[in-house]
Amino acid sequence: MISTMNAPKIRFKKWLGKEGSAYAFLSMYALMFIVFIVVPVLVAFFLSFTFFDTIRVPKFNGLRNYIVLLTQDDVFMKYVLPNTIKFSVIVGPGGYLLSFVLAWVLAQLPRVSRTILALILYSPSMTTGVAMSVVWLTFFSGDQNGYLNSLLMNMSIIREPIQWLQSPQYLMTIMIIVTLWSSMGVGFLAMLAGILEINPELYEAGSLDGISNRIQEIIYITIPSMKPQMLFGAVMAIVSTFQAGAIGVTLSGSNPTPQYAGQLIVNHIEDFGFLRYEMGYAAAVSVVLLLMVLLFTRLANKLFGSEG
Amino acid sequence: MKLNWLTKILGTLLILMMVVPFPTAAAPIEDFKSPAISQFDVPAGDSTSSTVIEIRADIFGLPISDHEIANLYDKPSVFLQAGESVSFSVLIEEDGYYILSFDSASVGGSLLVPPEGYLLMDGENALVDAQRIVFPIYYQNSTEAFPLDRYGNETLIRQERLIRWANIPLRDASFSQQYPLQLNLAKGEHSFEFNLTKEALLLGSIYIELFSNYPDYKQYLQENQAPDASGFSIEIEAEHPTYKNDTSIRPVNNRSLEVTPYDTYRLLLNTMGGENWDNSGSAVYYEFTVPEDGMYCITLRSIQNFKNNFTVFRRITINGVVLFEQLNEVPFNYSTHWSNMTLGGDEPYKLYLKKGVNVLGIEATSSPYYSAIEKIKKVLIDITDLSLEIKQLTGNQVDPYKEWVISDYIPDIQERLIAIADDLREDQSVLETYNQSGGSQETLSYQMAIDNMMFLAQDPDKIPVLMNRFSEGTGSAAQLLGSILTSLQSQPLALDKIYIHSPDTPPQPFDVPFFTSFEDGIKRFFHSFKPDPYQSIGAEEDEIEVWVNRPRQYVDLLQYITDSTFTKETGIRVKFSIMPNESKLVLANAAGIQPDVALGVSTNVPYELAIRNALKDLRSFDDFDSYIRIYSPGALLSYIVNDSVYAIPETQDFWVTYYRQDILDALGLQVPHTWDEVIEILPALQRYGMNFNTPFSSGSGFKNYIFTAPYLFNQGAQLYSSDGFSTGLGSDESIVAIKFMADSFTLYGMPLTTSSFYDSFRRGSLPLGVSNFTDYIKLLTAAPEIKGLWGIDLYPATVLADGTQNRHTTGSAQACIMFAETDRPNESWEFMKWWMSTETQIDFQEQLILNYGLEYLWSSANLEAFQYLPIPEEHKAVILEQWHWLQEPVKLPGSYMQERELSNAWNKIVFNGVNPRVAIDNAVLIINREIARKMEEFGYLENGVKVKEFKIPTIETVQMWMESDD
């Protein structure tokens, strides 16, 4: 009798010892994650089916927002989507490749110089906000005192200052350059760590087995040995690329960017949410953004995910 | 305990000063703003001495004043108003340099504008520097202790005018010279005429005496022999001056344990001056009592950590007199710690003080740098002249591969450059003696400027391509010198305490033990986790909650003024909080925690909130129509939905033409009054690499209505169709307007980006341009080298075919709103009316300037209040005239799309070369679609059919409301 009465208790104790402590440790993070990530995502999902002007009570309107997005939103189809795709295709894989190449090159250096250079390359991603206004805005400033204009005028390449940041034909290119400059973030550090983690004996074994140059080394040994870091880097690159919205607005000084030349999805969401007071529609666009990020992350998973 | 004793003395003094009767009747002056009056306490020149000639006021031929204040003066005096003058003649017995001084009391009505005058000698201007004689206004604290705000922090004491008699020597208007001005008088009879140009003055005797340097300290000691005082020491907290002559010298909080008083958690105003006490001539005065005649020492507890390795100066006066030469310019070196600075250093100066009340005056002075400052000013003019000459030869476009032989055209160029460098070298030693540690910004830049000159002098033919080392750009000699100029004039110093002591009781050095400061650091670290009360939201049950989109200084003052007047009069309590970000308003409204009233809201916010029913219709209050008469009618336009008004303007901006008179004169140009005239003079400007600045060049890619709408208004174009359901951009007028808007840049080459108009204007590369209030403040307060050389004029007019001249500009800056959900609408409306009332606005703008200086100029939307701002009358007239032309763009649902597409169309024409007509047609389609979509959202349209009328407000509508009788 006694043993049966105590059975659930004992089982609970067992569970507590086995998994309970893990949950206890997890709980703090889980709570934060639920409150600040899960709930907002769910709310946004719910709002995307409503008309909500941030002031009055939301009104349910079914799939209307999504239909409007696909059929009537000129700006989205004409500028925002192409811009976002162009921006992400270049900055995402471009930044990712750049991170890998630089990480690999750094890994070849002796310890001290490697650490210093890694810090130098990593620092732009930490200081983006400040560097943006101090360095890039001055660099691309549209009067003859802007560094680039001044340089070109001194070299007699141009006679009149070019409006780098106001002129639609340059804005996107500059956005891409600046983002690439600051893309050596956490993903880069992870890759550097990944490369350094690889057992040097592998390379020895490889050369015995007939690897003749460094390219082969990279393809057959380095990359396969650091798949987790490659995956992490890829996910970080995708997420940060799609979320990069501030850049065009900061450079051109306004949302919307001139002739929507630098308008990315995030800007479009802000435009509807905070400038046009159509939060429901903005929520719908952000759900689409979420789906896009999810899709590309799955893709990265397929490429680099280690089975089992 | 010492403090208690000190405050008692100060209190007694203050009461003594207050008992003097207040003017009651027969006062020829209308408004004294409840002044406190002090006895005449400055010894006039000794009239028995043979060298002093006294001209008593009874010979001026004006009626002798019998005013209360005049009665405080023991000799006759006359009352002068702006425009009046007195004449007298004097028989001089020997040739020589003479100084002049006036016994006077400033009695004008303005709290901020000091009386000014000029002096004619024998019918001519006596001296260049005597064309402006400034008579200081004195200020004193209205209460003894600092009032505490709601959170226990000390706030500034309200300043009031102190009308007192003083002996004012004739000095240069910027108080930058070492001695009073000296008139070179030959033997014989001389006639003088003194004219007052500003405000009002009570003028007593005038003294003329032969100039002599102040005695040397040794000589002073011989002349004033008295026993040393003994065992005596008093401390005066510097933040409690008896009076001062400049309101920008104000108590500031210092978070160092080295100062007293100090509190770990509360902000105490425990030191005086600092960065704001930097203008030459700004002085504070302290009254103190000594028990017996004798020799005393003075120690100042001070710090100058504002400018690296730079020495600042103070002039020390006792009872209005510089006792000896050494006190005329007392140096204070750079230091990172508070230290006790005994006058005289290791061998303290002994000053003879009489028993009783004495007044210590401490005046900021840049006079040791006077010669260097004047030299730089002269050199800057030389550089400008030479660079204009070069520009006349080379034109604007400089090809680096073109070879010039400048010396053929300006043969003496090399000598001139070397002469400039030599000129500068002369004063280099001055800077270096005062700043021996080297490494100060000023000395380094000075050397760089000289180096630049010598470098250019080596090969003058290269100058056209090296203008960036001469007069253009940040590293050029002109720029370097310009920045040194400002820097040399600024003499910041902070004071904590003043000790008056006998020579045998020097104040103890005061060091903070390491553990005390460590403990304090820990305490403050933990305290920093507590929420900031100034940003907390939520008010008590019986309070109106007001959110203010402004920094702390404004909110502090607002709370103080409200508590002390509005709450006192009406019993309505108000709590202010700082709103860190405007978007919080929308979110708070969604969350239901919105305030009752919000101040400082940007112009574009109220409309969006209003059409979604979040705001209270202010026109629902009966007295609204009569109330808004204080505004420019055009300022309300963007807050109107149909017949309702949802916000009232709070501050107002202006767009006017700024011009550099000196440069226009040099080029022989006139200030343009219309756009046609602007375009006419553009080629002349551009030939010299100069240009005309428009607001479009502010940098942002999006050109909003502030920039674009005036072009449309002035062409006579309507923004929308008359029913408000479609855009008006398709009209011929608007096409002309938009075309001109684009042509200004593509055809006429006005600058598309100007990183800072203020900088370019000072530098002279943009000597003309349209800009706003922000630049006005900067030019007024932070451009000493072009003081008096610039002016403002109306916005350039667009001349229509029938000859009408239109000068409409936008101009709203910030607004006050009331939320619909408020549970105290009537009290809130009372508060808003009180806040924007002329009386409160004048009080607020005065207190802002009194407490924080001219940088805090407040451009009230209340036109009556604006007239009282202490800015030059000619500027005020232009601004008020421009405000007649103020017109805000009307808003309607979806109108943001028009603003946006207008900007995009302009962008397309300018950057992509698209035909204006095509660009506009495209925009019209998009705008109309958005308007229709939004009109549907707000129930004016249903399936494309109009179901509700929409009223477009016009200036006439607003004027009609204003004129209605209710």
What averages of pLDDT result for each successive group of 10 residues across chain B (966 residues)?
49 42 36 44 43 86 85 89 90 89 87 86 77 88 85 84 90 88 89 89 91 91 89 92 89 88 88 89 94 93 89 93 92 90 90 93 93 88 84 72 82 89 86 74 87 89 83 81 86 94 88 87 88 70 89 88 90 88 85 91 91 92 91 91 92 94 88 94 87 88 90 92 90 93 92 89 89 93 82 94 92 91 92 94 89 87 91 92 92 90 94 93 93 90 87 90 76
CB contact under 8 A, A74 and B908: no
Sequence-ordered list of residues with C-beta below 8 angstroms from that of B16, at least 6 positions apart, any chain: none
Q: Closest residue of A to B608, CA-based? A: A277
Q: Which residues of A touch B751 (CB under 8 A)?
A: 143
Provide the whole-model pTM: 0.81
Q: Which pLDDT score, from 0 to 100, does residue B42 have?
A: 42
CB contact under 8 A, B700 and A168: no
Q: Which pLDDT score, from 0 to 100, does residue B930 have?
A: 92
Residues of B in CB contact (< 8 Å) with A are 397, 399-401, 473-474, 583, 586-587, 589-590, 608-609, 612-614, 697, 699-702, 749, 751-755, 896, 900, 903-904, 907-908, 911-912, 926
Q: Closest residue of A to B926, CA-based? A: A74
Taking the alpha carbons at both ends of chain A, their separation in whole angstroms is 45
Lowest mean pLDDT among A143-152, A268-277, B313-322, B467-476: B467-476
Compute the nearest-CA separation of B661 from chain A (Å): 24
| Cα distances (angstroms) measured from residue B570 to each of B20, B249, B562, B567, B573 | 32, 34, 10, 5, 8
Interface ipTM: 0.87
Cα B624 to the chain's mean position, in Å? 33
Decide the pairing of beta strands B183-185 and B597-602: unpaired
User: Between B825-836 and B838-852, two packed helices, what is the crossing angle to 10 degrees?
Assistant: 60
Torsion angle of C-alpha atoms B433, B437, B439, B442, degrees rounded to 10: -30
- Contact status, residue B240 vs residue B159, Cβ threshold 8 Å: no
Count how many pairs of residues, chain A against chain B, have C-beta atoms within 8 Å: 89
Q: Which residues of B touch A166 (CB under 8 A)?
A: 701, 752-753, 907, 911
* Cα–Cα distance measured from residue A46 to residue A40, given in angstroms and rounded to the nearest whole number: 10
- Geometric angle at alpha carbon B48, from B44 and B53, rounded to 5°: 70
Q: Which residues of B touch A141 (CB under 8 A)?
A: 699, 753, 755
* Cα–Cα distance measured from residue B641 to residue B620, given in angstroms and rounded to the nearest whole number: 13
Sequence-ordered list of residues with C-beta below 8 angstroms from that of B281, at least 6 positions apart, any chain: B171, B174, B175, B176, B245, B246, B363, B364, B365
Query: Cβ of A156 under 8 Å from any chain B Cβ?
Result: yes
CB contact under 8 A, A159 and B397: yes
Among B587, B904, B911, the residue with its CB nearest the CB of A163 is: B911
- Contact status, residue B42 vs residue B169, Cβ threshold 8 Å: no
CB contact under 8 A, B926 and A74: yes
Q: Which residues of A touch B903 (CB under 8 A)?
A: 258
Q: Which pLDDT score, from 0 to 100, does residue B216 have?
A: 92
A contact residues 71-90, partner B, Cβ 8 Å cutoff: 74
CB contact under 8 A, A258 and B702: yes
3-state secondary structure of B791: strand
Q: Which residues of A touch B589 (CB under 8 A)?
A: 55
Q: Which pLDDT score, from 0 to 100, does residue A155 have?
A: 82
Compute the nearest-CA separation of A169 from chain B (Å): 9
Q: Which pLDDT score, from 0 to 100, does residue B123 have?
A: 82
Provide long-range contacts, Cβ within 8 A and 24+ apart, for B780-787. Answer: B780/B854, B780/B857, B780/B871, B781/B853, B781/B854, B781/B855, B782/B486, B782/B855, B783/B758, B784/B485, B784/B486, B784/B489, B785/B377, B785/B380, B785/B482, B785/B485, B785/B486, B786/B660, B786/B662, B786/B761, B786/B762
Q: Closest residue of A to B934, CA-based? A: A276
If you ran DSSP here, which 8-state letter would residue B292 be given? Answer: S
Q: Which residues of B touch A74 (CB under 8 A)?
A: 926
Half-sphere exposure for B963 (CA within 13 Å, toward CB): 6
Q: Which pLDDT score, from 0 to 100, does residue B624 have?
A: 92
A contact residues 106-145, partner B, Cβ 8 Å cutoff: 138, 141-143, 145
Q: Closest residue of B to A157, CA-based? A: B399
| Cα distances (angstroms) measured from residue B528 to each of A93, B180, B515, B725 | 44, 51, 20, 54
CB contact under 8 A, B752 and A142: yes
Partner residues linked to B495 by β-bridges: B272, B302
CB contact under 8 A, B400 and A254: no
3-state secondary structure of B412: coil
A interface test, pick of B593, B602, B702 with most A CB neighbours within 10 Å: B702
Compute the nearest-CA separation of B24 from chain A (Å): 58
